[in-house]
Every structure is written in structure tokens, then in C-alpha cells.
Amino acid sequence: LPVNDDLLEKVFITVKTTGRNHLTRLPVIIKTWFQLAKKQTWFFTDTNDQHLSQVTGGHVINTNCSATHSRRALCCKMSVELDVFLESKKKWFCHVDDDNYVNVPALDELLKMYNPIGDWYLGRTSTPKPLQIRTKFQKTTFWFATGGAGFCLSRALVLKMAPISGNGKLMAIGDRIGLPDDVSVGYVIEHLLKIQLTRVEQFHSHLEPMRLIKKDLFNEQLTFSYSLDNDPNTVDVDGFNEITDPTRFLSLHCFLFPEASNCVEK
């Protein structure tokens, strides 16, 4: 399997999760793409979980942020993700949600194209227009990368963000603009630091219809996602049945890596 030592040195991948998702969303990640990026992937959660810690080789960080879907809780987690990344000395920070599949070799290829000495904000927008917000004094517009599609920041950029949003200060930014964690990151980078988002369309969130991603282009995509609510949105890929593989991530993994151990006999 293509475990890439070069990538190991470069990137710090954070998966944002929460206690109640540990047994529902994380098993399929741990069975699939996590196996290709065990050393560089860390789960950021809000509860202690011995079992999760054991199956991830201790790659779990309890942020002590509250276990709610509130803006404050999510900004709190993102801010811990960024702080721990800075401690890691890695060149790239990549954030994903716990309903993302990361195509590890493709991510490696992407990051090879950019120099982490420069300021890079790589991600996908999910709004047709930049966000417009009105503060007391001015109207401002800025783009942000959708957190649920995954995005990457170079170390140089995260270092510039640190005085503004490091050490828990992202929560105050979120409070100020009244918007979620990914938007707050965009506000800090595009509006406050004046560094532009580089659009990378190969990141995908479940805000887009997953079935529109073509099989012959799976290899080039950086992330995939799913949602399994009343109107399921999943990648269209053959393989395991829907009962065994409701998220389609096992099948996708075997499509990308037919030689992986859980793919050999079907």
C-alpha cells in the first residue's frame, strides 16, 4: 500500500469529531484511509475514549471543548486543532470532518505543488458568492473554505494567524462575527490577514451531490463525504452492499486501493 514517507514528514491531519460519533462515524475511517496516514492523523474530540485511543495508537486529543454543535464549541475545537498543529512542527495543517474520506496519495500530490514557506489557504467554497458581513463600521466580503470538505493551511499562514486566533482566540472571533468555525477561519485569513483562498475543487463536502463525482476521476479527488439522512447523499461506487457499507467509504477505499487488506476477498 502507498504509505508515503514523504507525506509523513509534511502534514498534520485533524479529524474533528464528538463523543457520540465515535462508534458511528469513526470505525469506517479507521478501517480505511486512516490506515494510510496513521502517523499524521489525529482525532480531536470532546470525551475520553480508551477504545478509540487504543485503535488509533493514541492519536486522540480531548479538546475539553463542549460536546455540542454550537458555534463556540466548534470554534473551540478548531482553535485547539491549530494550536496542536503548531506544536507538531509539521509543514501543513489539513482539517477534515468525521464524515470525510481522505484520499491520502492525492493529498500528498496536492501539497507537493505548494511551498509551505508561503501563505497557503487551500480549500473549496460552497457558496456562489463571497460572504458579506456587516460590522459596526463597514461592510466586508470574504471567501471561506467549507470545513466539511476539508482544507489545508501552510505553517507560515498558521503562524500569522496565531496572534489573532491562536490560543482559544478563534472563539472570540466567532462570537464577534456570529459565524461558524470554518467561516471564522476564512474571516481571519481573507479579511484580517488579506491572504486569498486558493480554490481547490477536489475537496468535497456533502453539500454537493456526491454521485456527480465520476469514477474515472476518483483518484484525483482529495476528499469525499456522505450524509445518510432522509435524502441520502453518497458516492456512487460499486463494491460492498449498502448494509455492510452505508457510507460507501469501504467500497471507495477498495476502488482506490484494491490491494488493501480488507479489499482482497469480497
Residues in the site for Mn ion, rule: CB under 5 A? 99, 148
- Cβ neighbours around 212 below 10 Å, total: 9
Query: How many residues lie near ligand UDP (CB under 6 A)?
Result: 14
Buried b (16+ CB within 10 A) or exposed e, 105-132: bbbbbbbeebebeebbbbbbbbeeebbe
d(CA 43, CA 60): 5
Nearest to 165 by CA among 199, 204, 121: 121
Signed CA dihedral, 46, 64, 53, 30: sign only = positive
Smallest distance from Mn ion to CB 98, Å:
8
Residue matched to cell numbers 500528498: 108
Q: Which one-letter amino acid corresponds to residue 79?
A: S
Question: Which of 67, 113, 117, 159 contacts ligand UDP by CB under 6 A?
Answer: 67
The verdict on whether 49 is a catalytic residue reads no
Cβ distance to ligand UDP smaller for residue 67 or 117 = 67
Dig out the grid coordinates for 42 from the structure. 489525529
Question: Which of 49, 81, 99, 245 contacts ligand UDP by CB under 6 A?
Answer: 99
Instruction: Name the binder of 67 from ligand UDP, Mn ion, none, CB < 5-8 A by kind.
Output: ligand UDP
Q: Does 234 bind ligand UDP (CB under 6 A)?
A: no
Nearest to 65 by CA among 130, 7, 11, 17: 17
| C-alpha dihedral (45, 112, 222, 150), degrees to nearest 10 | 40
Cβ distance to Mn ion smaller for residue 160 or 206 = 206
Q: Mark 71-90 with x for binding to ligand UDP (rule: CB under 6 A) and - for no binding.
A: --xx--x-------------
Nearest to 102 by CA among 22, 203, 6, 233: 203
Q: Which of residues 126-155 bind ligand UDP (CB under 6 A)?
A: 148
Smallest distance from ligand UDP to CB 17, Å:
4
- Binning the chain into helix, strand and coil, the percentages to the nearest 5 are 40, 15, 45
Q: Does 98 bind ligand UDP (CB under 6 A)?
A: yes
Q: Which of 182, 229, 236, 238 is catalytic?
A: 182
Q: Does 68 bind ligand UDP (CB under 6 A)?
A: yes
Instruction: Name the binder of 69 from Mn ion, ligand UDP, none, CB < 5-8 A by kind.
Output: ligand UDP
Q: Does 124 bind ligand UDP (CB under 6 A)?
A: no
Question: Which of 11, 14, 17, 187 contacts ligand UDP by CB under 6 A?
Answer: 17
What is the binding site for ligand UDP (CB under 6 A)? Answer: 16-18, 21, 67-69, 73-74, 77, 97-99, 148
Give the catalytic positions in this structure: 182
